[in-house]
Chains A and B, each alone.
Chain A
């Protein structure tokens, strides 16, 4: 028997029923999410827009306590939305925002021998030296200097980092933000290592000028020992005083981009090795995956002061936020403001010689109704981050608007060649290079303002 008729009846009746269900769903606002996603006629029916309007209203509402944006005649808070622009919120935009840094850059440009050290803090967005590697190259190209800066003994991206080869033995005891507790003595990298018969070797791949003399500096802490601790540097014995709370000492000064350090006494806390030149730009990449910047609050203040006293930072860049946005529907991040403010204030007061720049989160998308879109709370988080900068007297740079604003991460991930990963969180190495270029240009704009005031 021919069943073709039954097939046609099946298709027609299923389609009719499906259509009727969809129609009823649209007419009576059936909000069962399962059915909303499979409504056949959703595309040709205007949506009820009132619900959306209240959503966006709360996202753009003024920053709630604990931050109150005080109106001051000399300040303009709203400028925080401006892309590719470093602001100190001053109404007078002819003055540079990072004034002290620009003075120092100008001295360096004029030929004065000096180091300018930038500590770039971030989460997985800068892991593997992403962003900072391009920024370092651009800044060193413009103002001079060589070397990759500080490198921790190890971290999860040690093996994929392109700018340094970092090999180490398996026995290092590691302490970090996730296991160290309060009043710890972790360095700005968030790590501390102790070795007993352990070694680490590093090779810096960023050095273009083979004639440059590279200082290899060891970053270490206080060792609870009677005498200086002996370590091995490229098979020579070197003694580390290790009597101060924090120290950094030159353990190699030659043209070689390579060094190997062996440690047999685990009383000596080690942080890492820095490759730098006597004069010029140093960019330290302090990446720690999964954190939001509140972790610095747990580092012991005396220790931080000792770091600041021995290692002169001229700019601290504080780029977090993506890990604050870990739930798709969060819109209120006041809890974050309460936690991160002490961290920012602490770093600012310990490193009083440094300019402080807060960089907002980049775009992050979640799947809403089957489609990837910017996190609905992203505007309120960025406003909050700008508020923290405003309140603490830090400068601010809007990474989100720099990228292109809403849904830019979706475009970045879907373009060919892609600029971001399909997790709709992380710009990839191409995307990070683009962000670094924009940031460098913003710094140069600020620098130009300074040079204009000097004429």
Chain B
């Protein structure tokens, strides 16, 4: 006879590093039920409601990341105090000093936890030092809340926003549990005014929230997890063992995985927020439907790209001028391209110079075509933004390469528009042109994902080598026979991606009110599908070539 275990029950309330809290834990069901019951009970008492919200958010973070929760609290205190000081100071210079202090504090924390070991190994590899790597763990969500802190204080510095009046307002903005772990990056001026408002949700919000939560969970827990554990991880871990065909499918697979994982999490966050009466702007808009790389960045991780635009690209000089940082990063970048040429691609000095010069030309070309000198820093500002944006994703060269490739692609697209905009005007809106452009864009994005996901530059190189030089189409039959379920899920992921973004809104709009039983039935249908996938038989890798 099974029996209740008291010790295990209490253990559930503590942080478990092996099983951190996410939306798919059984614990989250109870957590959210308890939270929403209390939130609803105290809905008219804004202060109590706020305390409850803060407590649950911090507790969520504790269950997800352990005692790093203290870091969130310290960081909230420091930013709250500093931003108020900035707001109150009279002179521009003291405002600037305080802002610098704030930036050093926030970036310092981020650097310590995220980039220390990267710079230690950089120094050991290139400068011949012998530092030992630190034993630091990366606190969950630090990249996200650092950016939220920065945008908040910079907005106050710019006079665009009055600081939050109460500390708990700020703490809630920072720790709001639906988005704490994986974004989206929320802006204070959007969010803080919604904190102390009546708890009001329309029937449409209920339906839309439900849709976002269930479809987000479906993308993350079913599509993404299935593809990751049954295919993508095997291949990316050791691409040289597999044929080009398997590698190519793994790249498509990863394109689906990262989108489903990331946008799925964002959707759940948006949906939960909607149910609690908060509106957070959409973070992904079917990015693989983009017809060019510029459009891709308007549809992919929108909260990040708009953050980078407002707080990095524009301060660098935007599309008007260059700054010291523009030229500094550009110089580092072109030195890096040269070194990549000589060290990684094993080119001679001459060819490495040719490579560097041609990329440099790419960034100068728009200015030459338009006969406008300001065009030069514009391209370089964009490049710097993409490089640092890549580095934000993780402390490794592969992320920098990924950012650089996107930066270069944005420049290429700009040149392309300038060269072909008028000449192609008669057909560049045709369906066939758009389809070709979308397919090309998607494949370029996929190519960049190889660097994003691969364990090392060598692994990425092996993968590309296998795809181009050892494709082995003859193994297709055996491949299909072994990986049929994987291919079916992959096809489903891309089919869902082709659905227009506003379809859900249009369908929901057709219903006046969906009966409660309908929601409950849909929810349990999802739970059963989830259970089915969790217990599905593992797809094992096989050798297709001997």
A44 and B33 in contact (CB under 8 A), knowing A3-B202, A6-B206, A8-B40? no
Q: Does A65 contact B (CB under 8 A)?
A: no
Selected interface stretch from A34-42, A267-275, A439-447: A34-42
Range class of the B interface residue count: 35 or more
Among A17, A18, A328, chain B packs the most CB atoms within 10 A around the CB of A18
Q: Beyond A3-B205, A426-B238: 15 further Cβ-contacts under 8 Å? A: A6-B206, A7-B209, A12-B33, A35-B528, A38-B531, A43-B12, A44-B8, A45-B2, A45-B4, A48-B2, A178-B546, A290-B542, A328-B538, A366-B538, A421-B238
For chain B, residues 187 to 226, give those with C-beta under 8 angstroms from any C-beta of chain A. 199-203, 205-206, 209-210
* A425 partner residues in chain B, CB cutoff 8 A: 541
Q: How far is the CB of A192 from chain B (nearest CB, A)?
A: 13
- From 48 to 84 in chain B, residues with beta carbon under 8 angstroms from any chain A beta carbon are none
| CA gap between A30 and B63 in the complex, in Å | 30
Q: Flag the segment in A153-161, A215-223, A241-249 that touches B.
A: A153-161
Indicate whether B427 reaches chain A with its CB closer than 8 angstroms.
Answer: no
* 3 A-B pairs with the lowest CB-CB distances in the bound complex, closest first: A34-B531, A38-B531, A15-B33
Distance in Å: Cβ of A57 to nearest Cβ of chain B = 22
Q: Is B535 an interface residue (CB 8 A)?
A: yes
Contact of B26 with A159 in the complex, beta carbons under 8 Å? no
- Closest CB in chain B relative to A265 CB, distance in Å: 26
CB-CB nearest in chain A for B520: A14
Q: Of A38, A40, A288, which contacts B546 at CB under 8 A? A: A288
B204 nearest CB neighbor, chain A only: A3
Instruction: Describe B's contact surface by its main secondary structure.
Output: helix
Contact A423 B237 (CB under 8 A): yes
Closest chain A residue, CB of each to CB of B30: A15
Report how far A289 CA is from B200 CA in the complex, Å. 62
Residue A210 lies at the interface, judged by CB distance under 8 Å to chain B: no
User: In the complex, are the beta carbons of B546 and A156 less than 8 A apart?
Assistant: yes
Any chain A CB within 8 A of the CB of B432? no
- 17 of the cross-chain contacts (CB-CB < 8 Å) are A3-B206, A4-B201, A4-B277, A10-B210, A10-B523, A15-B30, A34-B535, A38-B527, A41-B26, A44-B12, A45-B2, A45-B4, A127-B241, A156-B545, A370-B535, A422-B233, A425-B541
Q: Is A1 an interface residue (CB 8 A)?
A: yes
- Residues in A with CB closer than 8 Å to B8 are 43-44
Q: Give chain A residues whose Cβ lies under 8 Å from the Cβ of B495.
A: none
Minimum CB–CB distance from B270 to chain A (whole Å) comes to 15
Q: Which residues of A contact B277 (CB under 8 A)?
A: 4
Which residues of A1-54 have CB atoms within 8 Å of chain B's CB atoms? 1-15, 17-18, 26-27, 29, 33-48
Q: Known contacts being A15-B33, A35-B531, is A7 close to B2, with CB within 8 Å?
A: no
Q: Which residues on A sit within 8 Å (CB–CB) of B113?
A: none
**Residues on the A chain within 8 Å of B532, using CB:** 34
A419 to chain B, nearest CB (A): 12
Give the Cβ gap from B546 to chain A, nearest Cβ, in Å. 5
Q: How far is the CA of A40 from the CA of B30 in the complex (A)?
A: 9
Interface status of A177 (Cβ within 8 A of chain B): yes
A11 touches B32 (CB 8 A): yes
Q: Is A160 within 8 A of B33, CB to CB?
A: no
CA distance A12 to B535 in the complex (A): 27
Contact of A113 with B by CB under 8 A: no
Nearest to B465 among chain A residues (CB) is A159
Residue B5 at the chain A interface, CB threshold 8 Å: yes
Q: Which residues of chain B are near A42, meaning CB under 8 Å?
A: 26
Question: Could you tell me if B527 and A18 are in contact, using CB atoms closer than 8 angstroms?
Answer: yes
Q: Which of A3, A15, A29, A289 contacts B203 (CB 8 A)?
A: A3
A287 to B187, CA, bound (A): 57
Residues of the A chain whose Cβ atoms lie less than 8 Å from the Cβ of B30: 15, 40
Q: Say yes or no for A255: interface residue by CB 8 A criterion.
A: no
B13 vs chain A, min Cβ distance (A) = 11
- Asked whether, in the complex, the Cβ of B545 is within 8 Å of the Cβ of A160, the reply is no
Alpha-carbon gap, A421 to B459, bound state (A): 13
Contact of B520 among A5, A10, A29, A289 (CB under 8 A): A10
Q: Which residues of B contact A128 (CB under 8 A)?
A: 240
Distance of B208 from chain A, by nearest CB (Å): 11
B474 at the interface (CB under 8 A from A): no
| Contact A290 B543, CB 8 Å, known A8-B36, A38-B530, A38-B534 | yes
**Contact between chains at A17 and B524 (CB < 8 Å):** yes
- Contact yes or no, B541 A37, CB < 8 A: no
Q: A358-389 interface mask toward B, CB cutoff 8 Å, 1 = contact, 0 = none?
A: 00000000110110000000000000000000
Given A9-B516, A27-B2, is A176 in contact with B546 using a C-beta cutoff of 8 Å?
yes
Distance, CA A222 to CA B242, complexed state (A): 34
B462 in the interface, Cβ–Cβ < 8 Å?
Answer: yes
- B358 CB within 8 Å of chain A: no
Q: Mark B480-507, 1 if CB is under 8 A from A, else 0.
A: 0000000000000000000000000000
Q: How far is the CB of B497 from chain A (nearest CB, A)?
A: 25
The verdict on A43 contacting B26 (CB below 8 Å), with A127-B241, A367-B538 known, is: yes
Smallest CB-CB separation from A128: which chain B residue? B240
Q: Which of B446-482 contact A (CB under 8 A)?
A: 462, 465, 470
B531–A26 touching, CB < 8 Å? no
Please report which residues of chain B, range 78-128, place their CB below 8 angstroms from some CB of chain A when the two chains form the complex. none
Bound CA span A38–B9, Å: 17
Q: Taking the complex as formed, is B419 at the interface, i.e. its CB lies under 8 A from any CB of chain A?
A: no
Within residues 218 to 258 of chain A, which ones have a CB less than 8 A from any CB in chain B?
A: none
A427 to chain B, nearest CB (A): 11
The CA of A367 and the CA of B234, in the complex, are separated in Å by: 14
Contact indicator A44/B524 (Cβ below 8 Å): no
Which residues does chain B contribute within 8 Å of A48, judged by CB atoms?
A: 2
Q: Please measure, in the bound complex, the distance between the C-alpha atom of A47 and the C-alpha atom of B5, giving whole angstroms.
A: 10
Contacts of A40 in B (CB 8 A): 26, 29-30
Task: Name the interface residues of B241-299: CB closer than 8 Å to any CB of A.
Answer: 241, 275, 277
Q: Is B229 an interface residue (CB 8 A)?
A: yes
CB distance from A282 to the nearest CB of B (A): 25
Which B residues are CB-close (under 8 A) to A176?
A: 546
Interface: B167 (CB within 8 A)? no
- Measured CB to CB, the closest approach of chain B to A124, in angstroms, equals 7
B201 touching A7, Cβ below 8 Å: yes
Contact across chains for A7 and B206 when beta carbons are under 8 A apart: yes
CB proximity of A302 to chain B, nearest CB, Å: 25
Residue A428, interface by CB 8 Å: yes
